[in-house]
Amino acid sequence: MKFTLETESLIKEKSAHDWIIYSSKRVISSDRYLSKTGWSSQGEDRKPVSLCESFTHPSLNKWEKASHVLESLKEGERVEVRKVRREISWADHTCVEEKIVNFVTLKGRTFAFTGDPTDIPSVLEFLKESSEFRPTTLFMDRGTLILDPEATGFLLRALMEMLKGDSRLLSKEERGLPDITLYDDPLIPYSHVFYTFDDEGVKTKRKELVGNGQVLDYLGTLYLGSEGNGRGIYPKPDFFNAVLKPGDWKIHELMDETRNGFLILGARGSEVVRKSIRIKPGKVVHLGNGELMIREIAIPFSDLSTLDAITGDTRLVYLDEDHGAVAPFIRVSGRLLY
């Protein structure tokens, strides 16, 4: 099997003296085979059961408009528009996927989407939205947390790490999960990680990993016997978009019924530390008092069962260049680490 990734980028950012728009092109190509120990540079050519098909995203027709959009940017705004082409070939079968992916950064926050570059100004307006809170000196080390979609997305990212087929941290007999349903969905057409086939040439699909609090499946690869989540030059199991099934709560109901709680607005990352999910928050606001300076939010795995509210409203979340999420507001107990 031969794998090729080709990206052509237009980027506008502030230089030392003036704005610059520059272009770059990158091509990664690799011949690989599936051996008894996984993917390597030699072995056998094993095709997937769900063989990929070629696909061209409608956004590809908008590439010529990208440079005009970049010309209107202001100071503090950084935008990269990428034309992405992925190709996987066997001796008698080839799949090509083409699309436009846009990365927009403002004041340290990044959002990305697949689609028309002329939508970039709307994304910039979204990133400009912010609220001011008065400071407070309240100190509490534990409480009820309301996570906004971005913070929830980073919580889901940590759960996805626990569901990788080559390093399972959650078993199908697990009883500590709340009553949630969690998917991996590569087929969200406006997500920056929209993929019609993975890096093993497997046709992608929405995969239910957790259903009503029960682990049902894992992120897998051809080598692991579970197709659809192979990612990388030498593919390993990974997710595309972590999607939490919405609930029926309204945001205002959640705020009104959470007394003395903490609102977590945004996040900069997450990790799993000894069966505890650690989230680096953007802002932490004690409802009714004001903003707190919090280093980390810790949600022990045993506290996940306290997740008792999920809103019906969800939002697409940018996690990093390779991962996204579609997440609601949720309520769960946790610890505040100053």
* pLDDT computed for residue 133 by the predictor: 46
Q: How far does the chain reach from its first CA to its final CA, in angstroms?
A: 50
* pLDDT computed for residue 211 by the predictor: 97
* pLDDT computed for residue 338 by the predictor: 84
Alpha carbons 104 and 111: distance in angstroms, whole number: 5
Q: Give the chain's length.
A: 338
When pLDDT is cut at 50, 70 and 90, the band that residue 40 belongs to is confident
Question: What's the mean pLDDT in 168-192?
Answer: 94
Question: What's the mean pLDDT in 98-117?
Answer: 94
When pLDDT is cut at 50, 70 and 90, the band that residue 44 belongs to is low
Judge whether residue 131 has pLDDT over 50.
no
Instruction: Indicate the SS3 state at residue 251.
Output: helix
**β 77-89/323-337 pair status:** unpaired
Task: Tell me which DSSP letter residue 249 carries.
Answer: B
Residue matched to tokens 């940017």: 73
Question: What's the mean pLDDT in 161-182?
Answer: 92
For residue 230 the two structure tokens come to 């192979």
* pLDDT computed for residue 111 by the predictor: 96
When pLDDT is cut at 50, 70 and 90, the band that residue 15 belongs to is low
Q: What is the pTM of this model?
A: 0.90
When pLDDT is cut at 50, 70 and 90, the band that residue 17 belongs to is low
**β 262-272/142-147 pair status:** parallel
Question: What's the mean pLDDT in 25-31?
Answer: 91
When pLDDT is cut at 50, 70 and 90, the band that residue 45 belongs to is low
> What is the percentage of the chain residues whose pLDDT exceeds 90?
70
Closest by CA position to 97, among listed 163, 169, 193, 239: 193
Task: Tell me which DSSP letter residue 223 carries.
Answer: T
The residues, any chain, with a CB within 8 Å of residue 55's CB and separated by 6 or more, are 96, 97, 98, 196, 197
* pLDDT computed for residue 22 by the predictor: 79
Alpha carbons 328 and 332: distance in angstroms, whole number: 13
Read off the pLDDT of residues 278-296 as tens digits, 9 standing for 90 and up. Answer: 999 999 999 888 888 899 9
Decide if 135 contacts 304 (C-beta within 8 A): no
* pLDDT computed for residue 175 by the predictor: 82
Instruction: Indicate the SS3 state at residue 156.
Output: helix
Read off the pLDDT of residues 204-216 as tens digits, 9 standing for 90 and up. Answer: 999 999 999 999 9
Decide if 149 contacts 327 (C-beta within 8 A): yes
The residues, any chain, with a CB within 8 Å of residue 59's CB and separated by 6 or more, are 99, 100, 114, 115, 116, 117
Judge whether residue 134 has pLDDT over 60.
no
* pLDDT computed for residue 37 by the predictor: 76
Among 3-17, 214-228, 233-247, 251-265, name the one with the lowest average pLDDT: 3-17
Greater model confidence, 48 or 30: 30
Judge whether residue 137 has pLDDT over 50.
no
